[in-house]
Structure 1
């Protein structure tokens, strides 16, 4: 990967105050966070995975989000991949912010990161691709158990904005549907999901899908309650 820039200490980028349009976009930042590493895009696999030229063409998994799966032909998978390619076309310079602590990779060996690109439409500032994808309604918030997500508030706000506007993946979702969460779990499920079949009823709570999303829960990958 490229050289680190802006120092070694990690901090949040500064939000823009330059214009109303910039303020309205949660994905826009005035400056890069300290300690980011520069890289060059080789290709984009899907909405939340890309390959960089550095580190032997390492794969990068975008943190804090989950986009529809291309291989399963899920709705809006192609649109999510196309949007990420739009922001991260081949040869695009990007800056990666990796998690504090740990080795910054997942079980598949992919580098976990928030990805920033220059905001070429404005000629200044940067776009956090992870947040932008949620703003477009082309993915959902996702934080695996035990993880801490640097831009949790911004990601959830972006998701809520897209949900309210029924953008893309949210255009046909029944967010009033009743789902079930375990007390300490990160996912929400259909009431008949086999993953919670043996759970103590006292440890389960029913709520709307919309409320579960507001709280930062993710859709169960087994029962897929939003599909």
Structure 2
């Protein structure tokens, strides 16, 4: 019996390793394709000198670290095993095979994986989420300045501006929305096939929905608007009806 259990565990571990290898291989293929597009100028996925997400200096108190692994476009692990969740953004889910999930991962991996980065925190904000992940802005050296990955990936169209909490927005929230609008108008990444449509939101909600969303079955006071307007307000699409 013990041998059977041991064999089952080994089989399961091997299956997990193979799945991770396949995911990394796919991510690397996407990354190579992005690099080719950047070289030929066919896409705006690269930060580039014209990027509005590049700054001359780092924020005060920025901490230097090294990245061990990039899980997806908005999550990475440092060499000290602490996990980082990039503030102010939401990237497509790899597990759910959402469009541009691999491209989002490739954007962050190309700039951060196995490299030195700097992290900074929102002034007077939470430093960790309920999963124990650090809530940070991530910075990398770019030419003579520093690229804010959080802003750059929104500018490239591989992430949406996202603020799940209630209360004050992030210090750079207006800029996040500006960069998101820039990507949407250029039809980059997740916005490449965007066509405006009518949506609704609840009085205090941070998401916008289709009117038929199951979460709104008993809700009466709804505000109607266009999806583009909802995005301009910093609302994010419902994970149930607009995933």
2:153 and 2:125 map into 1 onto residues whose CA distance is: 25
- Provide the residue aligned with 2:223 in structure 1: 205
Q: Which has the larger radius of gyration?
A: 2
With the length of structure 1 as denominator, give the TM-score of the two structures: 0.82
RMSD in angstroms over aligned alpha carbons? Answer: 1.4
Paired positions, count: 195
| Structure number with higher helix proportion | 2
Displacement over 2 Å in runs of 4+: 99-103
- Provide the residue aligned with 1:31 in structure 2: 57
1:216 partner SS: coil
1:141 aligns with 2:165: no
2:225 partner SS: strand
1:41 aligns with 2:57: no
2:180 and 2:125 map into 1 onto residues whose CA distance is: 27
Q: Residue by residue, what CA displacement relative to the aligned partner does 1:10-32 show, whole Å, maximum 9, x if unpaired?
A: xxxxxxxxxxx75x422110111
Q: Which of 190, 196, 201 is equivalent to 1:181?
A: 201
**Contact 1:145-1:185 within 8 A present in 2 as well:** no
1:205 partner SS: strand
- Provide the residue aligned with 1:73 in structure 2: 97
Deviation of 1:103 after TM superposition, in Å, equals 4.8
Q: Which of 206, 209, 214 is equivalent to 2:232?
A: 214
Deviation of 1:198 after TM superposition, in Å, equals 1.2
2:52 and 2:205 map into 1 onto residues whose CA distance is: 27
Deviation of 1:100 after TM superposition, in Å, equals 2.8
Deviation of 1:101 after TM superposition, in Å, equals 3.4
Q: Map 1:63-142 to 2 at 5 A.
A: 63-90=87-114, 92-101=115-124, 103-119=126-142, 122=143, 124-142=144-162
Deviation of 1:173 after TM superposition, in Å, equals 2.0
**Contact 1:26-1:154 within 8 A present in 2 as well:** no
**Contact 2:126-2:135 within 8 A present in 1 as well:** no
Deviation of 1:197 after TM superposition, in Å, equals 1.7
Q: Unaligned 5+ residue runs, structure 2?
A: 1-47
**Contact 1:187-1:220 within 8 A present in 2 as well:** yes
